[in-house]
Chain A
Amino acid sequence: DAGVTQSPTHLIKTRGQQVTLRCSPKSGHDTVSWYQQALGQGPQFIFQYYEEEERQRGNFPDRFSGHQFPNYSSELNVNALLLGDSALYLCASSPPGFGYTFGSGTRLTVV
């Protein structure tokens, strides 16, 4: 049984560009959350999707947006990239009830 799958694993973008990161949740999980982890820091909660809607949002600007599809997979979009957006982006899925399974992340570098 595959766990949480994220793509791509690494990405290099230029300032001002837009990026889309993808996440496939673990089988049986219907909720997807996204986190940003800057180098040397703990992950910070970006937002959570459930039933194709954003259910909760952390302290991130509107440049960060997302989507959840009927098959529960999710995308994270970041517009107008800044150097400070360079980080590891983690996706976590959870089943109805309790528990979180994290993917290995997408490492985004903005140059």
Chain B
Amino acid sequence: AQKITQTQPGMFVQEKEAVTLDCTYDTSDQSYGLFWYKQPSSGEMIFLIYQGSYDEQNATEGRYSLNFQKARKSANLVISASQLGDSAMYFCAMREWAGGGADGLTFGKGTHLIIQP
């Protein structure tokens, strides 16, 4: 089974609208972390936001917020007031702590977001 599922291969959104990118995850660990990254065409993975499994409040970073629903194993990214520069690939990723020490990330397949003027 996939550990990270992103069901939206592509999305078109009008500039200035809010957009929600979906992410569901699968883990049996109690301690884990969820990340969202942006990848423009240059290839670099740009960190956007992080949510720990024990964090009670949803994470926010500027225009980015993470809608964390632990019981549903859902960690959707919300971008408010979208801008043309937000056009990129977006990846959801998870780190599981059960192994102790090492911390490779597991990524989803991504969502290609295109902001239209």
Chain B residues contacting A105 (CB-CB under 8 Å) are 43-44
Q: State the CA gap A78–B75 with chains docked (Å).
A: 35
Given contacts A42-B91, A42-B107, contact A104 B42 (CB under 8 A): yes
Mask, A12-55, CB within 8 Å of B = 1, is 00000000000000000000010100001111110110100001
Check if A48 sits within 8 Å of B103, measured CB to CB: yes
Q: Is the interface of A mostly helix, strand, loop or mixed?
A: strand
Mask, B22-50, CB within 8 Å of A = 1, is 00000000000001010000111111000
Check if B104 sits within 8 Å of A56, measured CB to CB: yes
Size of the chain A interface, CB-CB below 8 angstroms: 26
Which of chain A's residues has its CB closest to B110's CB? A42
Check if B91 sits within 8 Å of A103, measured CB to CB: no
Q: Which chain B residues (81-117) contact chain A, with CB distance < 8 Å?
A: 91, 93, 99, 101-110
Check if A88 sits within 8 Å of B43, measured CB to CB: yes
Chain B residues contacting A94 (CB-CB under 8 Å) are 103
Check if A48 sits within 8 Å of B102, measured CB to CB: yes
Chain B residues contacting A33 (CB-CB under 8 Å) are 104-105
Check if B104 sits within 8 Å of A45, measured CB to CB: yes
Which of chain A's residues has its CB closest to B102's CB? A56
Partner of A102, one of B44, B101, B109: B44
User: Distance in Å from the Cβ of B43 to the closest Cβ of chain A?
Assistant: 4
What residues make up the interface of A, taking CB atoms closer than 8 Å to B?
A: 33, 35, 40-45, 47-48, 50, 55-56, 58, 88, 90, 92, 94, 99-105, 107
What residues make up the interface of B, taking CB atoms closer than 8 Å to A?
A: 4, 35, 37, 42-47, 91, 93, 99, 101-110
